[in-house]
Amino acid sequence: MEEKKKTIVMFGDSLTDYFPMKKLKDIDAEIINSGVAGDTIAEMGARLSYDVFPYKPDIIIMQGGANDFLMSLYPGAKPLAERLIRLALRIRKQLSQTKIYIESMYPAYTKRIGLMPSWAEGKSNGEIEKINTEIKKLCEAYDFAYVDVFHKLIGEDGQLSREYTVDGIHLQENAYDVVADIICKIYA
């Protein structure tokens, strides 16, 4: 009898939605991209019943919070991290056998890019690091696997490397190579 292929759900906002799935072709699993551009953590929660639960995944790789951070109603580092963990706890309650990996928030390029302002202008990577510290602390407290993407993408100048982004937040192909490498190591 042939063993069932494992199922992985990538769950998040535009950083997941725009992930070039061909970069994960060497992973021997069914991989579902359940990212939706523009989603806040609350909107991700509203999609659980049709974008996560039906797949009964073996693994969930969750990324979120960028839109909560960029909005004018940003609640602060700790409340944002708590929202993300509460969402993971809801998933765990429904899918107790699923291994949940929670990615750090990604760094931003917060400077103006040519004539175009960065989406993250006025925000700081120092604040993102505070959020990530809270996420990591809560992951440890609730036994979730924390995945540090932030330090793999940040440049020596404390910004998302300029060659990794077009608008300060969204990633280019070469940055997704870095993220794909992290995901492949999770699955290995």
Render each residue's pLDDT in the chain as its tens digit; 188 residues: 567 789 999 999 999 999 999 999 999 999 999 999 999 999 999 999 999 999 999 999 999 999 999 887 789 999 999 999 999 999 999 999 999 999 999 999 988 777 766 777 778 999 999 999 999 999 999 999 999 999 999 999 999 998 999 888 999 999 999 999 999 998 87
Q: Exposed/middle/buried for 73, CB within 10 Å: 0-12, 13-18, 19+?
A: exposed
Which residue type sits at 4?
Answer: K
* pTM: predicted TM-score of the whole model, two decimal places: 0.94
Beta strands per DSSP E along the chain: 6-12, 29-35, 59-62, 99-103, 145-147
Which residue type sits at 181?
Answer: D
Please give the DSSP secondary-structure letter assigned to residue 107. Answer: P
Spacing of C-alpha 33 from chain mean position = 12
pLDDT for 46: 98
Contacts (Cβ under 8 Å, ≥6 apart) of 22: none
